[in-house]
Amino acid sequence: MPRPGFVLEVDRSTPSILTWHGEGFRLERLPPGRSRVIYAPEPLEPLDDPDDAVRDALLHPLGDCPPLPELLFAGMRLTIAFDDISLPLPPMQRPDNRQRVIEGVLDLAAAAGVDDVVLICALALHRRMTEAELRHAIGDRVYDAFAPHGTLLQHDAEDPSGLVYLGQTDQGEDVEINKRAAESDLLVYVNINLVAMDGGHKSVATGLASYRSLRHHHNVKTMRHSRSFMDQEHSELHSSNWRMGRLIAASGVKVFQIETTLNNDTFPEQMSFLQRREWEWTARDRATYLATTRGLAMTTPRLARSIFQSIKSPHSMTGVHAGEVEAVHAATTARVYRQQLVDVDGQTDIAVFGLPHLCPYNVNSIMNPILVMCMGLGYLFNMYRGRPLVRQGGVAILSHPTPWAFHPVHHPSYIDFFEEVLPATTDPIEIEKTYEERFATDEWYRHLYRTSHAYHGVHPFYMWYWGAHALEHLGRVIIVGGDPKAVRRLGFSPASTLTDALEMATDTVGRDPSITHLHCPPIMIADVH
């Protein structure tokens, strides 16, 4: 029976706490008597037979939806869309959930005599996946059956002939999505729900949408009114996607949603100390920690990045639900919450977030300074339900090397955003008003997004907006161990050590502040009462 999440009150006997720091980690002591550490629940038990569970879900759908075989017929146009490289984190060991589900769907389609099947990677404005990444996600058998015939596609949000405009929601939001998906007799969406924000109507309304459509919810106003992204009842991002999803359904697009959940078994056995509570570390864990940190200290950043990016997570499937979108998502969300929610009593003056090497947008890539901001203030800050973990006017301390480094192929517009936009302003509203449209319509970025492996020109803006709620809420942001020049460019304060950062934070929150360290990963959501 896995243990639930846990909040540790730090006292004099508490050992040093493992704090992530990019491609590495540190052991940090927190002040006793006023510090606490939030630990994630232990991994839920995986499904005994995931393939059987997938078949069962397809045959016994949730909500007002017939079993999948009843929706399949010879001569139909079937489109299977699936989540892209941003999920899960880290990428999971084979077979990926997407492979299991797609193979299950294809078996039924073949039995029904369906031969017009197209697979679409629902990447929205993310970068196109490489062949190796696609093979990892959907499996070699599926890849080899579709890719050579041109029926394995990657959504192109900038292809006018590949999009269809479905209309406006009652809030005036344009809905424009992938034409093949919209005009199919059935659209099957294959999702991985790593966090509560994923899935539901967001799968199609975001994953298969155009910039014209996405800008209605990927903007500063929506982000500031999503409190948090992980709490559907209080997320404007969620509400906007739901309005769009309902319009998509009303337009006649038939969606069969399949959502899978994972446990938070994040690291392979040789790195399992990373998800153990420090006072339970064995002698082997301590030795592994020492060997790892000393080894990393002797490697180049490039090699360290390569080592960490090669980690494949032993995540296991804990659930699979299929059928009508909203019914499926309700069941999925309940399961995600069961894995990730941790009861936390009250807010804190200072939140400490150790940032790992990875966020959704730098798989096989570099965690550039903009992604550091997004990971810290967009994701970790928003891992709450109820109230933010840190109080209004409080301080967020991020720990990350924050190198002045960018992946030139994946993040070309990020470099320009960092060079042109941030020196002028870090105010999300001003950034959105002054710069977004030019970046979003830049022909070169558009070309690279469509033909190379580049994120869309507007993507760094979305990363910045992702942290807009935190920027408005916090009194100060301090980054420990970052490149000072890069940290200042972000508008934050650099600190050499956590001790220095805590001292600096007292200027904002006063003496003897309360401190809370979110011990993430593994992923968790603080349910703040």
Nearer to other proteins, 55 or 459 (CB): 459
Q: Would you give the DSSP letter of residue 475?
A: S
User: What is the closest distance, in whole angstroms, from the C-beta atom of residue 446 to other proteins in the complex?
Assistant: 10
Nearer to other proteins, 291 or 409 (CB): 409
Closest Cα partner for 34 from 5, 6, 9?
9
Q: Which residues bind other proteins (CB under 8 A)?
A: 412, 415-416, 419-420, 438, 442-444, 447
User: What is the closest distance, in whole angstroms, from the C-beta atom of residue 443 to other proteins in the complex?
Assistant: 6
Query: For the chain, what's the residue count?
Result: 529
Is the bond preceding 369 in cis, omega lying within 30 degrees of 0?
A: no
DSSP for 210-274, written as a single string: -HHHHTTTSSHHHHHTBS-TT-GGGBHHHHHHHHHHHHHHHTT--EEEEEEEE----S-GGGGGG
Closest Cα partner for 183 from 166, 168, 200?
166
Q: For residues 21 and 8, what is the distance between their CA atoms, to the nearest angstrom? A: 21
User: What is the closest distance, in whole angstroms, from the C-beta atom of residue 129 to other proteins in the complex?
Assistant: 21
Nearer to other proteins, 24 or 494 (CB): 494
User: What is the closest distance, in whole angstroms, from the C-beta atom of residue 445 to other proteins in the complex?
Assistant: 10
Contact by Cβ (8 Å): 154, 129: yes
Q: H/E element holding 97?
A: helix 97-111
User: What is the closest distance, in whole angstroms, from the C-beta atom of residue 419 to other proteins in the complex?
Assistant: 5
List alpha helices for 298-362, DSSP H.
301-309, 325-340
According to DSSP, the residues that pair with 313 across neighbouring strands are 92
User: What is the closest distance, in whole angstroms, from the C-beta atom of residue 211 to other proteins in the complex?
Assistant: 18
The beta strands (E) that lie in 16-95 are given as 17-20, 25-28, 35-39, 77-82
Contact by Cβ (8 Å): 422, 490: yes
Q: Is 526 helix (H, G, I), strand (E, B) or coil?
A: strand
Q: For residues 339 and 125, what is the distance between their CA atoms, to the nearest angstrom? A: 29
Q: Is 168 helix (H, G, I), strand (E, B) or coil?
A: strand
Contact by Cβ (8 Å): 236, 217: yes
User: What is the closest distance, in whole angstroms, from the C-beta atom of residue 22 to other proteins in the complex?
Assistant: 24
Angle at the Cα of 445 (from 442 to 448), degrees rounded to 5? 150
Nearer to other proteins, 379 or 435 (CB): 435
User: What is the closest distance, in whole angstroms, from the C-beta atom of residue 199 to other proteins in the complex?
Assistant: 36
Nearer to other proteins, 52 or 419 (CB): 419
Q: For residues 219 and 428, what is the distance between their CA atoms, to the nearest angstrom? A: 9
Nearer to other proteins, 6 or 404 (CB): 404
Residue 62 phi/psi, 5-degree rounding, is: -95, 155
Nearer to other proteins, 390 or 486 (CB): 486
CB under 8 Å to 446, separation ≥6 — which residues?
158, 456, 457
516, burial (CB in 10 Å: exposed 0-12, middle 13-18, buried 19+): buried
User: What is the closest distance, in whole angstroms, from the C-beta atom of residue 421 to other proteins in the complex?
Assistant: 10
Nearer to other proteins, 183 or 419 (CB): 419
Q: For residues 40 and 340, what is the distance between their CA atoms, to the nearest angstrom? A: 6
User: What is the closest distance, in whole angstroms, from the C-beta atom of residue 128 to other proteins in the complex?
Assistant: 17
Nearer to other proteins, 83 or 442 (CB): 442
Nearer to other proteins, 278 or 436 (CB): 436
User: What is the closest distance, in whole angstroms, from the C-beta atom of residue 425 to other proteins in the complex?
Assistant: 13
User: What is the closest distance, in whole angstroms, from the C-beta atom of residue 403 to other proteins in the complex?
Assistant: 16
Nearer to other proteins, 302 or 447 (CB): 447
Q: Cα separations (Å) of 281 from 17, 107, 276, 356? A: 11, 45, 7, 20
Nearer to other proteins, 24 or 412 (CB): 412
Q: Is 160 helix (H, G, I), strand (E, B) or coil?
A: helix
User: What is the closest distance, in whole angstroms, from the C-beta atom of residue 449 to other proteins in the complex?
Assistant: 13
Nearer to other proteins, 208 or 454 (CB): 454
